[in-house]
Structure formats: C-alpha cells, structure tokens
Structure 1
Amino acid sequence: MKANMLEQIKGKLVVSCQALENEPLHSAYIMSRMALAAKQGGASAIRANSLIDVEQIMQTVDLPIIAIIKRDYSGSDVYITATLKEVDELMAANPAMIALDATQHQRPGELQLPQLVAAIRQRYPQLLLMADIATVDEALLADELGFDCVGTTLHGYTAETRGKYLAANDFHFLREVLTAVKAPVIAEGNVETPEMAAQCLKLGAHAVVVGGAITRPQQITQRFVNAIS
C-alpha cells in the first residue's frame, strides 16, 4: 500500500478525521466511524491524529492513512509530529505516510528538520513523508530535503501567515507552491467547499485534504449560524 499511496490519492479527496481533547467528538471510536463514513462517500485516504485514532481507523477502513501526532512543546511553535519520538510512536501502526511540521520554526529536541528527515529515512526507509508548510520558502526547503509530498497545511496557521487563506487572490499561494516545487503538492487548509476542492485539483494539486468542512460539526454549524445571523 505504501509504494502506491501517492498514485492512489492522485486527483482525489483525502478526509482529515480529527477531534482534539476539547472537542465533543474526541474519541478513537468516533473518528473510526467518521473515517468509515468518509470512505463510503468516496474518500481515497484518511488523515488522522494520534496513535490510538490511527490504529482504530486502520482496523475499520482499508484506506491509506496520513498519520500525525499533535503535541505541544514548551519553547516551540512546532506541534505536528515534532520529533522522532512521535514518528516512532506512529510506526507502531505502520501507516503509509506520516506528515510533519516542515516550517522553519525552532523545533523541540535535538534534531532540526534536515537532521530529523535524515534520521527518519535511515530508520524507516519505506515510509512516505509529507511536509506541512506555511510559506513558499518552506516548500522549497521541503523539496530539497526530499519529502515525498508537500502540503499547504499550515498556511494561515503560523505567526508569519496568520489570517491568510489558501483560496485568497484566486489561490495565489497554492499557485506559487505548485510552480516552486517538483514534489506532488497536497492542497490542505481551509478548503471549505466542494468547489474549492475541485479548483485546487484543477490548478494542479496532486490531491486535496478536507477536514473541518466534513468532520467538525461544530464548525459547520457555526458557518450556518453566521450566515443566518
């Protein structure tokens, strides 16, 4: 499954099934059922957070998984699969792909991004790696480091990009990343409508990840409430 995962998701939808501890759907069982619903709707893969969720989802659906662990570290803004410890934890489930924060922020632990990628490649040579980036410079660095794909995941979520959105100015940022890198580009981050997802693919994104617009009912409800208020 690992070898052909990128081919499996090409031109298709990946659904992010995540609920943090402070959210009402926080439960590995619920996320596994969300993943099953996503599969039945036609999703090509699932993105999931935490080993317990990844394991439960893998027992429920036969789709490839983009696995992450979100964990806060003092003194660092990096929280998505920040260190080798998180990678080792996730590899207990042997997912097809692991995504990690590939921003240029100071990382926790001893290994900065180039050393971390090298360590992962040495330890898990078959593992696919996705770079979650926020800027074009970060996308270029990820490409140089040999990530298997580059995701726009963190655009709008870092100090430098706060308030920016993937669809702004006719998807200007996505267009820039697509032009800049050779690796497949995964469009992710505030993809809120089917039309936006389709446009990402039309522009040349390899695949598109949608999370909150499908799997976070409190956010979906809030959009309806805002629209009718």
Structure 2
Amino acid sequence: MSDLLPSSTARLPHGALAAALHHGLIVSCQAPVDSPLHDARVIAAMAQAAVRQGAVGVRIDTPEHVRQVRWRLPEIPIIGLWKQSLPGFDVYITPQFHHAQAIAAAGADIIAIDATLRPRPNGETVRSLTTHIHEQLGKLVMADVDSLAAAVAAVEAGVDLVGTTLYGYTAQTQDQTPPGFDLLRVLVQTLSIPVICEGGISTPAQAQQAFALGATAIVVGTAITGIEPLTQAYVRACPR
C-alpha cells in the first residue's frame, strides 16, 4: 500500500488516504505513562517494525510520539490521538480542539476523537470538534464509539471513519467484552462510511472474522505491542 503515498502524507488526497488503509492492519503503538516503553523513540521503533512487516498504518498517542513516528515513517498514515483525563468528564481521547491541533501539528493524518454520547467540556460537541478539525486543520476524523447510536450521531456530525474502539470501555457497555463483533456487524450494515474494528482483536482468526463482517481495516494493539500485559499473563502461568 505504501506505493500509493507521496513523500508527505499531508498532501495525500483524503480518498487516497482511506484507500491506503483499506483491508489492512493498523498497529496501535502505545504504552502506559509509567512504562519504560513510554518513550518516543521506542514507540517509533515499534511503529517502524510493524510497518516493515506489512502494517498499512499506525495509531499513536501524544504529540511527542506522533512527531517521532512521523520523522521515522514519513510516508505511512498515522491515526493520532491525545489521551487526556479531564476532571468531571469521562471522554478522554482527544477531548478538545487544542488537543487535536497539537496532534495535527505533530504530523498525524487522521485525528481520532472520543465520539461517544457522553458530556464534553466547554459545551463542545462531536459536530463542532469535527468541523474545526476539517476546516482549520484539514485532517480526517476517526470517531471512536461504543454503540450504534453514537456512531450514527458521529456520521451525522460529519466524521470520516468510525471505530469500535470504546466498545466495552464505557458505562453503557462495561458488561461487554471486545472485540465488538456484534457492534461491527450493525455498523457495517447501517453506516455509509468506513468502519474500523478496534479493540480486543488478539488472534489472526479474529482479524479474519472482522474482515468477513465487513470491516474496512483493523487496529491491533496489545496483542502485538503489549509487552507488559503479555509478560504478566505468561508469568502467572509459571509454577514459580
């Protein structure tokens, strides 16, 4: 897919950018803030390793990490986000426009935002945030949702892609376990824009199932880059 991309993805037409991700693997390269892996150079190395093995894009948190990945991978689509915990609010994935500005300035091509129906700070809405990202930053918007209702509202707000990212991670869906294949199925049947399956995919068989259900692309994180939780699981299995 990389041969579809010019020397800078910032100049890539939006249609071609979406096409570059079509039926491909996007690797989420992230690490907890208190982890030794939470280092821009480490994250960029993870991203480069994933791309060398065929990933068509990466999903990266924080401006510093996006900037380092962009420097190392100038031709690969980056879905950028900035996780921020705001007092009194549950939304945390790029919750405000100034967070999106920083991610765009760092080099992301697509800005991922929390597009659940939960309250947002300063009276901002998914529609206003999407409009500002489109008009002021010239970037595509990926809506991270937890339900069909949130996805429909996000499409009406003008987003470009929808992901099942927050299925199982909100109060409304806390009794559900990702991957959200039931949600993916209904989103594909209902929406007219690309749907990305993200969250809980841990085997190639599940990846194939997501594509069989109509996913435009898949995002895999912990199963590929989650060194610490995977190590913990194996340690627990040891007799020692």
TM range (shorter): over 0.9
Do 1:166 and 1:174's aligned partners in 2 also have CA atoms closer than 8 Å?
Answer: no
Query: Where do 5+ consecutive residues of structure 2 fail to align?
Result: 1-8
Label 1:161 to 1:178 Cα distance change in 2 as closer, same or farther (>3 A).
same
Equivalent position of 2:126 in the other structure: 113
1:60-79 CA-partner distances (Å, limit 9, x unpaired): 12311000000110000000
* Deviation at residue 226 of structure 1 after TM alignment: 5.1
Q: Offset at 1:183?
A: 0.9
1: CA distance between counterparts of 2:40 and 2:189? 38
Could you report, residue by residue, the CA deviation over 1:124-152 in whole angstroms, capped at 9, with x for unpaired residues?
2x311100000110011111112110000
Q: Is residue 2:157 matched to residue 1:166?
A: no
Deviates most, 159-168 or 189-198? 159-168
Q: Structure 1: which 5+ residue stretches go unaligned?
A: none
Q: What is the match of residue 76 of structure 1?
A: 89
Q: Is contact 2:25-2:218 (8 Å) kept? A: yes
1:227 Cα offset (Å):
5.6
Q: Out of 203-212 and 56-65, give the one that drifted further.
A: 56-65
> What secondary structure is seen at the aligned counterpart in 2 of 1:186?
strand
Question: Per-residue deviation at 1:21?
Answer: 0.9
**1:95 aligned to 105, 108, 124, which one?**
108
Q: Normalised by the size of structure 1, how large is the TM-score?
A: 0.93
Aligned length: 226
Q: Pairwise CA RMSD of aligned residues?
A: 1.6
Identity among equivalent positions (%) equals 38
Work out whether 1:208 is the aligned partner of 2:214: no
Where in structure 2 are the equivalents of 1:116-135 lying within 5 Å? 116-124=129-137, 126-135=138-147
Moved more, 103-112 or 45-54: 103-112
SS at match of 1:25: coil
Any idea what SS the aligned residue of 1:179 has?
Answer: helix
**Using the alignment, how far apart are the partners of 2:146 and 2:120 within structure 1?**
15
Partner SS state of residue 20, structure 1: coil
TM-score norm. by structure 2 comes to 0.89
Moved more, 92-101 or 80-89: 92-101
Distance (Å, rounded) in 1 between the aligned partners of 2:168 and 2:236: 21
Q: Superposition pairs for residues 12-161 of structure 1, below 5 Å? A: 12-61=24-73, 62-124=75-137, 126-161=138-173
> What corresponds to 2:194 in structure 1?
184
